[in-house]
Amino acid sequence: MVENTGFLLHDVHFAYGDKAALRGVDLTLPLGRFYGVVGPNGCGKSTLLDVLMANRQPRQGRVLLDGAAVGHHGRRQLARQVALVPQDFAIPFAFTVLEVVLMGRHPYLPRFGTPTAADLDCAEQAMAALGIAELRERSVTGLSGGEKQRVVVARALAQDTPILLLDEATSNLDIRHTLEIFQVARERVRHGRTVIAVVHNLNLAAAYCDEMVFLDEGRVAAAGPTATTLTSTTIAEVFGVESRVARDDFCGTLQVSFRYGD
Amino acid sequence: MTSTHRAYPWLAMGLMLAVCIAIVLSTGLGFIPITPAEVVRVIASRLTGDTGLTAGLDPVFSYVVLDVRLPRILAAVGVGAGLAICGVLFQGLLLNPLADPYTLGISSGAAFGASVALLADGTLLGHLPVPLFAFAGAMAALVVVLWLASHDGQLSANTLILSGVIVGAILAAGISFMKYLADEQVGVIVFWLMGSFAGRTWAQVGVVFATVLAGLLVAVYYGRDLNIIALGSRTSDSLGVETGRVRKILLVAASLLVGVCVSVSGIIGFIGLIVPHLMRMVAGPDNRRLTVVAALAGGLLLLMADTVTRAVLPAEVPIGVLTALIGGPFFCYIFRRRGAFHG
C-alpha cells in the first residue's frame, strides 16, 4: 500500500450502453496540485470524475487512489478523501444553508450522532471562506443561483477532504463569483490539498491550474504542466479552433486568444 | 439552532396528545353517544382487567367501544400514519414534493392487486392473502412508473407524476373490468375501493400498526441518508451514502406500507401529500423529525376525516371521496406555487 500518492488511472474504459465515454485513459495525478480537465462537450470529463469517485465502475482498467482501487476504499472512507461539487444543484426542500453545509460532515458522523462542536466549526469555516456565513439560517430554496452554488461548494469544503473535484462548478456563476470559488480552491492547493476541476473556460484553467488534462473522445490528448500542454496545436487538435497562446502581462499567466472569424 | 428545532419536541408531544384526545372523543361520537369519561372507563377496564371500572355502565357501551368503534378508529389512525410516512419517503426519494402513493399510481396498483385477491375468493384459487397481493400490486406499479418516467437515469418531477397518473388510469380500467367480470361481489369492492373503515377488525388493526411501526423505524433509521439524497444521487454518493441501496430499501418499505394500508381501507388519496407538506412547514425538512410528526399528524387527520363521515354527516360518505375533495385542491395549490419557484 502506497500512502498519499494520489490517483493513478491505467487503461480505463467506460461506456454508457454501447456508447463509449472513456477509451483507454492513462493518467497519473499526484497530490498537491490544481488540475484542469478540459475538452469538448461529451468528451468524457464528467464520466472521468465519476470514475475517480467510484460512482461508476470502469468496464476495463484500474483506478487507484493512494495505491488501492477506489472501489475498495468503501463509500464512507472515500467520502473522507474525495469531495465533489456537481454542476447541477437542485435542492427541492427548504433546508437551511447551515443544514446543507453540515451534510458535508455526514461521512464523519455515527448513524444517530449529532454534529459536534468540531463539525459546526468546520461548517462555519467553510461558509466564511465562501462569504455566506450571514446566510446561515436562510432556506436554500429562497437563494439566488449564485448563492446556492456557493452553498454547495461550502458543503464540499466542510467535507474536509484532501481531494476536491469540481465538475463545472462555476458554469452558472458570474465572473466575480467564479473567481472567488477558484481563489478558494487555489488557496486549498497552496495548503497541500488537491483540486481536480472540469473547466470549460480555457483562460480560467490557464490562470489557476498547475497541470491540464485534455480529453478528446474519451482519450487523453495531452496531459502535463499547463505551460507545456496548453498550446495552440493541442487546442486545434482537440477543439478544432484556431488560437494563440501567450503570456498575458495583466494576469501574469498564459492566456488564449481565439480567431473569432471575419 | 433554528426555531423549528426548538419547537419540535413540543410539536411531537402536542400531536401525540391530540391523537389520544381525538381517539377518546371520536369513540364517544355516533348513533349511541358515550361521554369521554365513560369511554376512558371502558378502555381502562379492558386494559387493567378491573371490571369495577365499568360498574353502572350500560353493557352495550363496552361492546360499542371495544368491538365496533375502536378497531375502526385505530385502523384510521394507523392508515393515516402509514400513508403520511409513505408520502415523506416518496417525496424525499424522488425529490418531488408532489409525490404521494395516490398521485404516483401506487395506491391503484395495490388496489388492483387486492381486487384480484378479493375476486379470486370463492373461485378455484381459493383464499388469497389480500395484503400480500396489494403489496405485489404496489411494487409492480412503482416499477412501471419509475421505468416510464426515467430517461438516462434521470427522473423529471413532472414526468413522474404524469407516469403515475397514466399507470393509475390503466389500473383503474383494469379494476373496472374485474368488477364487470364478477358482478356479484361488486358492491363490496366498489365501497372498499372508495375507501372505508367500516367494520375493521382488531386483527387488521394489529397488521397496520405493526407495519406502520416498522416503516417508521426504517424511515428514521435512514432519515439522514434521505436528507442527503435530496441533494441528488451524485452528491449523496460522494458523501458516503449507499444511495442505490438506501433507495431500494426505502421504496420497498414504502410500497409495503401502501399495500397494507390499501388492503385495510381501500384507496385514500392525498393524505400522503398534504400531511408531509404541512409538517415540513412547521417542523422543517429534516426527515428524521418529519417522519415522526407526519405519522402523528396523518393519523390525526384521517381519524378526523373518518369521524366526520361516520358520525357527523347524515349518510356515510366513502372517506376516499372526502380526502380527495380536500386534497385535490391542495395539490393544485402546491402545483401552482411550485411553478412559481421553478420558473
Domain containing B107: what range?
73-342
Q: Which of B222, B341, B88, B190 lies closest to A92, judged by CA? A: B341
The set of cell numbers assigned to A36 is 484542469
Reported confidence tier of residue B118, pLDDT bands at 50, 70, 90: confident
Asked if the C-beta of A69 comes within 8 angstroms of chain B's C-beta atoms, the answer is: no
Tell me, what's the pLDDT at B225? Answer: 95
- pLDDT of A30 reads 93
Counting the structural domains of chain B, the total is: 1
Q: Does residue B45 lie within any of the structural domains? A: no
Residue B61 has pLDDT above 80, yes or no: yes
B164 occurs within a structural domain: yes
* AA letter at B91: Q
Query: Measured between CB atoms, which of A16, A55, A95 is closest to B234?
Result: A55
CA distance B110 to B114: 6
Angstrom distances, CA of residue B287 to CA of B7, B133, B211, B241: 15, 29, 19, 15
How do residues A9-35 score in pLDDT, each as one tens digit? 999 999 988 888 999 999 999 999 999
Residue B217 located in a structural domain: yes
Q: Is the CB of A93 inside 8 Å of chain B's CB atoms?
A: yes
What CATH number is attached to the domain comprising B82?
1.10.3470.10
B227 to A137, A179, B339: CA distances (angstroms) = 17, 30, 23
Which of B235, B243, B292 to probe by mutation at the A interface, max A CB count within 10 Å? B235
* Mean pLDDT of all residues in B11-31: 94
| Cell digits of residue B18 | 391530540
The average pLDDT across A245-261 equals 88
> Which residue from A86, A95, A98 is facing B232, i.e. has the nearest CB?
A86
Q: Which residues of B touch A (CB under 8 A)?
A: 1-2, 92, 95-97, 152, 157, 221, 224, 227-228, 230-232, 234-235, 237-242, 280, 284-286, 341
Q: pLDDT value at position B249?
A: 92
Nearest neighbour of B224 by CB, restricted to A104, A106, A159: A106
**Mean pLDDT, residues B227-234:** 89
B157: which chain A residues are within 8 Å (Cβ-Cβ)?
A: 92
SS (H, E, C) chain A: CCCCCCEEEEEEEEEECCEEEEEEEEEEECCCCEEEEECCCCCCHHHHHHHHCCCCCCCEEEEEECCEEHHHHCHHHHHCCEEEECCCCCCCCCCEHHHHHHHHHHHHCCCCCCCCHHHHHHHHHHHHHCCCHHHCCCEHHHCCHHHHHHHHHHHHHHCCCCEEEEECCCCCCCHHHHHHHHHHHHHHHHCCCEEEEECCCHHHHHHHCCEEEEEECCEEEEEEEHHHHCCHHHHHHHHCCCEEEEECCCCCCEEEEECCCC
Distance from CA of A177 to the nearest CA of B (A): 21
Tens digit of each residue's pLDDT (9 = 90 or more) over B73-93? 999 999 999 999 999 999 998
What pLDDT does residue A40 have? 92
**What pLDDT score was predicted for residue A124?**
95
Q: Which of B90, B96, B239 to mutate to test the interface with A (most CBs of A within 10 A)?
A: B239
Does residue B41 fall inside a structural domain? no
Q: What average pLDDT does the segment A44-50 reach?
A: 92
B286 and A99 within 8 Å at the Cβ level: the answer is: yes
The amino acid sitting at A81 is Q
At A1 the pLDDT is 43
Number of Cβ within a 10 Å radius of residue A41: 6
Q: How far does B302 lie from chain A, in Å, by closest CA?
A: 25
Beta strand spans in B127-182 (E): 150-151, 154-155
Label residues A179-194 b or e (16+ Cβ within 10 Å = b): bbbbebbbebbeeebb
pLDDT of residue B339: 54
Long-range contact set of residues A222-230: C-beta below 8 Å, sequence gap at least 24? A223/A27, A226/A36, A226/A254, A227/A254, A230/A202, A230/A205, A230/A206, A230/A254, A230/A256
Q: What is the pLDDT of residue B1?
A: 46
Burial call B214-240: b when 16+ CB within 10 Å, e when fewer? ebbebbbbbbbbbbbbbbbbbbbbbbb
- Cβ separation B241–A106 shorter than 8 A: yes
Closest approach of A198 to chain B, Cα-based (Å): 15
- Contact between A103 and B231 using a beta-carbon 8 Å cutoff: yes
* The pLDDT value given to residue B338: 66
Q: Tell me the three state secondary structure of residue B151.
A: strand
For residue range A184-224, list pLDDT tens digits in order.
999 999 999 999 999 999 999 999 999 999 999 999 999 99
In a domain, B54, yes or no: no
Q: What percent of chain A has pLDDT over 90?
A: 70
Q: CA of B238, closest CA in chain A: separation in Å?
A: 6
Residue appearing with cell numbers 469538448: A40
Quick one: how far is CA B102 from the chain centroid? 10
A106 and B228: CB-CB below 8 Å?
A: yes
Does the residue B237 lie in any domain? yes
* Pairwise CB contact (< 8 Å): A92 & B232: no
Q: What mean pLDDT value characterizes chain B?
A: 86
Dist. CA B41–CA B27, nearest whole Å:
12
CA separation (Å) from B213 to B99, B253, B259? 22, 11, 15
**Which pLDDT value is given to residue A188?**
93
Question: Do you know the residue count of chain A?
Answer: 262
Residue B286 has pLDDT above 70, yes or no: yes
pLDDT at B25: 94
Whether the CA torsion A169, A172, A174, A175 is positive or negative: it is positive
The pLDDT score that the predictor gives to residue B126 is 56
Tell me the pLDDT tens digit for each residue of B151-184: 766 666 678 888 988 999 999 899 888 878 777 6
Lowest mean pLDDT, pick from A46-55, B143-152, B251-260: B143-152
Closest CA to B118 of B102, B134, B101, B95: B134
Say yes or no to pLDDT of B342 above 60: no
- B2 located within any domain: no
Instruction: Give the model's pLDDT for residue B294.
Output: 97
Cβ contact B88:B96 at 8 Å: no
State the average pLDDT over residues A229-235.
Answer: 94
Per CB-CB distance under 8 Å, the chain A contacts of B282 are none
Say if A42 is an interface residue toward chain B (CB within 8 Å): no
C-alpha cell recorded at residue A165: 473535484
Q: How many angstroms away from the CA of A103 is the closest CA of chain B? A: 7
CB contact under 8 A, B238 and A82: yes
Residue B15 lies in a domain: no
Over residues A106-123, mean pLDDT: 92
Q: Under a CB-based contact definition with an 8 Å cutoff, are residues A79 and B239 in contact?
A: yes
Cβ-proximal residues to A245 (8 Å cutoff; 6+ apart), any chain: A206, A230, A231, A232, A235, A254, A255, A256
Around A204, how many Cα atoms within 13 Å sit in the side-chain half-sphere?
23
**Closest chain B residue to A101, measured at CA:** B228
- Span B103-114, average pLDDT: 90
